[in-house]
Amino acid sequence: MPQRLHSADTDFERHFRDLLAAKREASVDVEAAVRAILDDVRARGDAALIEYTQRFDALTLTPETLRVSAAEIAAATEATPPETMEALRFAHERIRSHHARQRPSDERYTDALGAELGHRWTAVESVGLYVPGGAASYPSSVLMNAVPAQVAGVERIAMVVPAMRGALNPLVLAAAAVAGVTEIYRVGGAQAIAALAYGTETIPAVAKIVGPGNAYVASAKRQVFGSVGIDMVAGPSEVLVIADGENDPDWLAADLLAQAEHDAAAQSILLTDSAELADAVERAVERQLATLSRSATARESWETFGAVIVVRDLLAEAPALADRIAAEHLEIATDDPDAVFSRIRNAGAAFLGRHTPEVIGDYVGGSNHVLPTARSARFSSGLSVLDFVKRTSILRLSADTLRALAPAAIELARVEGLDAHARSVAIRLNPGA
Amino acid sequence: MPQRLHSADTDFERHFRDLLAAKREASVDVEAAVRAILDDVRARGDAALIEYTQRFDALTLTPETLRVSAAEIAAATEATPPETMEALRFAHERIRSHHARQRPSDERYTDALGAELGHRWTAVESVGLYVPGGAASYPSSVLMNAVPAQVAGVERIAMVVPAMRGALNPLVLAAAAVAGVTEIYRVGGAQAIAALAYGTETIPAVAKIVGPGNAYVASAKRQVFGSVGIDMVAGPSEVLVIADGENDPDWLAADLLAQAEHDAAAQSILLTDSAELADAVERAVERQLATLSRSATARESWETFGAVIVVRDLLAEAPALADRIAAEHLEIATDDPDAVFSRIRNAGAAFLGRHTPEVIGDYVGGSNHVLPTARSARFSSGLSVLDFVKRTSILRLSADTLRALAPAAIELARVEGLDAHARSVAIRLNPGA
């Protein structure tokens, strides 16, 4: 059973703090091992990349077979049932059209003193997209990472995906095909991150690397950061469901289990003002667990990290608790969800109303499913077009405007003890003098 | 003398690559030392913070004297000459009014299938602002870091600044007063970062930490990242000046030295199509070095990392080289600077025309002077209001819209092997069934 907390209890604050502080990920110290791999691939390029792929993925490659061929991608697409291809295309088009609204605008204006100010957004030149192998190899994630980069105008997207003993998930290739990603390499792990960051003879370096991965991939991304950009390092998934008593317990149970089935370290929290609903949801979870293919994972997550919080007044108490939880996914299952949502500051994505299961956002809502985990919604946002563009600020002065700005600049340079700063302005004030 | 490269030379590409690859910062391994400090302050709070301040800053504090008093801030402001206060206020108002244009907008719309989509921006709750002590203690940086946070709507800004043997730079306090920052603690180093990230009895934890610092501060920020957000870790400053032959060599020499005087590891590069101008600028640099208070630092930077690149055709060759350099500061001193700038993708900030020295952007241009260094303009942007807000995506469906989206979502959940995902959607399609 998940833990049950009552906001009316005297020790609620202590229990709630413990819930927030619970470590859901074992910290694996792979830093030194990863450092050695990064250095080796940086120094020896393809040869090192191929050796590590042999060792870790039991796959023998040559520089010629590193890249997945167009024929393989076509074959994977052909092998994918039409209804799956249709679902991928439907998802792709919804994600594309939503993200197209996120393109930021350039600006250029002249202020009261005549200074021309502004900024210009440009796309990152090239992006590496990491796709995990194994159980976490999701075609939907290919779409969610590739589409914002494409909408941003990124000219080159290089995808890497490990192929254990040569096997690639055809759905991942099909999703890449739907997204129009054609540069795909069958490598993974820290060695793939090194190849993307530093380049090899076969794989040109990229400017930024995105996408989820295991502890080795996460450590590699952290270590190459600076040489290239990286996205956030995502932790296990989580959902906070805020619900009044007027909900179907089976619907909410399914939502809680949809997070729990991802990962034993996932976290599902129900926050309600109805103890009856809380009981009914817990019973529904037990019933539904019996028929899940990933029931062992889901049960472990639910029993270890799941929580049910019962409050007296939903509108008065839920927002402050939700802000402290700062959930990746926030469902609000009430008649007037905006009344609750408008009082909440911290959440990666909000799903409003009883007919908006978070799962729609995983696939076909249109918004991105790469979202801040582990309370990082307090300070960060989900993946968007903004992650694939960067801003150059612009300043342009006339001689007269420079004259108007000069005294303050020279004074500040003077008090900061920066003579050349002061001179760089002063010298332009009396040309020919 | 700085190195001279000619794009017409056969070995230009090799020399240019070496220039890009030059390491300007010695990597100091302080990680383990910092880790111990972080853990100690996390465990023991004020007591540990006070001990480290005694040890590293030769300053004895109590929980009561950690915070700089309102009287001390007022005294620093009173001690600051009126013309300096006026310059700070002038800079503050220009920075504020420019950043006020950066507030992003919320959006909410209904798409063709009836799905309500959107996003909402909210301010980060609380921000810690690190201000270095010693030579890098710049009042202008206080404004540049505090103002975007305030414009974003951050409710609490806590500033930390080390006070070696008790001494605080009154100009830093005066700048804080001008910006309206009143919560200031006289602590620095990794111990101050730990206090901001984890909180102590006296200093409540913040959600994000920004501001420059030495190797200890940079390592501490990297290590607490995840618990809190951080800004980029800035390296030594740099400028690329693209100039035709029609420039006053003294103006450009002053601009190159304005970067060089910051730090021996700073980098100033002149890129021109005029070998005569290149010679004249080098002579002017030598002349001007003689009268700089920081001439030793500036000379070391210029001779070690400075470079003069001579090309045959500025418009044809400069943009591609500039994109590879991806400079923090880019000056374009030509008659039609936009013709060059429009072909360049990677730069932190652009200063266009002969009357726009980069130094204006350091102080009173209005745009931010916290900018991406070390080629990170390829994938990141300068500090802005966007760094102090985060986005929550919003989805709201009706029963009918859910029905329209359901088949594709269920199909994708099915092929990803996520039963509870499929059920979470399917169960809502036949209520009561």
CB B407 within 8 A of CB B425: no
Strand partners, B389: B123
With contacts defined as CB-CB under 8 Å, which chain B residues touch A352? Answer: 116, 394-396
% residues pLDDT > 70 (chain A): 99
Asked whether residue B7 is domain-assigned, the answer is no
A42 and A149 both lie in a single domain: yes
Q: For position A235, what pLDDT does the model report?
A: 86
Q: Where do we find the tokens 């003077």?
A: A414
Asked whether residue A16 is domain-assigned, the answer is no
Contact assignment for A380 to B363 by CB distance below 8 Å: no
CB atoms within 10 A of CB B3: 16
Of the three residues A179, A200, A230, the one that is the final residue of a domain is A230
CB B284 within 8 A of CB B253: yes
Of the pLDDT bands very low, low, confident and very high (cuts 50, 70, 90), residue A232 is confident
| Residues annotated within a binding site of A for NAD(+) | 130, 191, 214
CB-nearest partner of B409 from A250, A288, A363: A363
CB atoms within 10 A of CB A72: 15
> Rounded CA gap, A237 and A229, in Å?
23
Q: For position A282, what pLDDT does the model report?
A: 98
Q: For position A433, what pLDDT does the model report?
A: 46
CB-nearest partner of B363 from A251, A367, A412: A412
A317 and A244 both lie in a single domain: yes
| Residues annotated within a binding site of A | 130, 191, 214, 237, 259, 262, 329, 362, 416, 421
Of the pLDDT bands very low, low, confident and very high (cuts 50, 70, 90), residue A431 is low
Contact assignment for A251 to B293 by CB distance below 8 Å: no
> Rounded CA gap, B334 and A50, in Å?
49
Count of the separate structural domains present in chain A: 3
Q: For position A339, what pLDDT does the model report?
A: 98
Asked whether residue B301 is domain-assigned, the answer is yes
Residue A243 main-chain phi, psi, to 5 deg: -140, 140
Of the pLDDT bands very low, low, confident and very high (cuts 50, 70, 90), residue A1 is confident
CB-nearest partner of B125 from A88, A345, A396: A345
Residue B97: closest C-alpha in chain A? A111
Of the pLDDT bands very low, low, confident and very high (cuts 50, 70, 90), residue A25 is confident
CATH for B430: 1.20.5.1300
What is the average per-residue pLDDT within A393-397? 98
**pLDDT tens digits for A71-130?**
999 999 999 999 999 999 999 999 999 999 999 999 999 999 999 999 999 999 999 999
A145 and A193 both lie in a single domain: yes
Nearest to B281 by CA among B304, B298, B257: B257
A225 and A85 both lie in a single domain: yes
Asked whether residue B96 is domain-assigned, the answer is yes
**pLDDT tens digits for B56-70?**
999 999 999 999 999
pLDDT for residue B212 is more than 60: yes
Q: What is the mean pLDDT of chain B?
A: 96
pLDDT for residue B35 is more than 50: yes
A211 and A87 both lie in a single domain: yes
CB B166 within 8 A of CB B10: no
B310 and B409 both lie in a single domain: no
CB A405 within 8 A of CB B360: yes
Strand partners, B332: B242, B352
State how beta strands B156-160 and A229-230 pair: unpaired
Asked whether residue B363 is domain-assigned, the answer is yes
**pLDDT tens digits for A296-310?**
999 999 999 999 999
What is the average per-residue pLDDT within B79-96? 98
Residue A231: closest C-alpha in chain B? B379
Structural domain boundaries enclosing B281: 235-379
A86 and A215 both lie in a single domain: yes
Q: For position B431, what pLDDT does the model report?
A: 60
- Strands (E) across A84-221 are located at 107-110, 116-123, 126-130, 156-160, 183-185, 208-210
Nearest to A337 by CA among A416, A258, A242: A242
Q: Which residue has the higher pLDDT, B235 or B426?
A: B426
Helices B399-415 and B419-426: crossing angle in degrees, nearest 10, is: 160
CB-nearest partner of B382 from A353, A393, A425: A393
Q: What is the mean pLDDT of chain A?
A: 96
Asked whether residue A384 is domain-assigned, the answer is no
Q: For position B432, what pLDDT does the model report?
A: 52
Nearest CA-CA distance, residue B7 and chain A, Å: 23
**pLDDT tens digits for A341-366?**
999 999 999 999 999 999 999 999 99
Of the pLDDT bands very low, low, confident and very high (cuts 50, 70, 90), residue A432 is low
Burial class (CB in 10 A: 0-12, 13-18, 19+), A306: buried
B247 and B365 both lie in a single domain: yes
B194 and B69 both lie in a single domain: yes
When scoring B20, B396, B402 by the number of chain A Cβ atoms within 10 A, the one with the most, hence best to mutate, is B396
Question: Going by C-beta distance under 8 Å and a sequence separation of 6 or more, which residues neighbour residue A342?
Answer: none
Nearest CA-CA distance, residue A381 and chain B, Å: 5
A96 and A220 both lie in a single domain: yes
**pLDDT tens digits for B144-167?**
999 999 999 999 999 999 999 999
Asked whether residue B404 is domain-assigned, the answer is yes
Of the pLDDT bands very low, low, confident and very high (cuts 50, 70, 90), residue B366 is very high
Contact assignment for A427 to B397 by CB distance below 8 Å: no
CATH for A375: 3.40.50.1980
Asked whether residue A24 is domain-assigned, the answer is no
Q: For position B401, what pLDDT does the model report?
A: 98
Interface size between A and B, measured as CB pairs under 8 A: 367
**A140 three-state secondary structure:** helix
pLDDT for residue A198 is more than 60: yes
What is the per-residue burial (b if ≥16 Cβ within 10 Å, else e) of B181-219? bebbbbbbbbbbbbbbbbebebbebbbbbbbbbbbbbbb
Of the pLDDT bands very low, low, confident and very high (cuts 50, 70, 90), residue B433 is very low
A374 and A415 both lie in a single domain: no
What is the per-residue burial (b if ≥16 Cβ within 10 Å, else e) of A103-130? eeeeeeeeeebebbbbbbbbbbbbbbbb
B115 and B251 both lie in a single domain: no
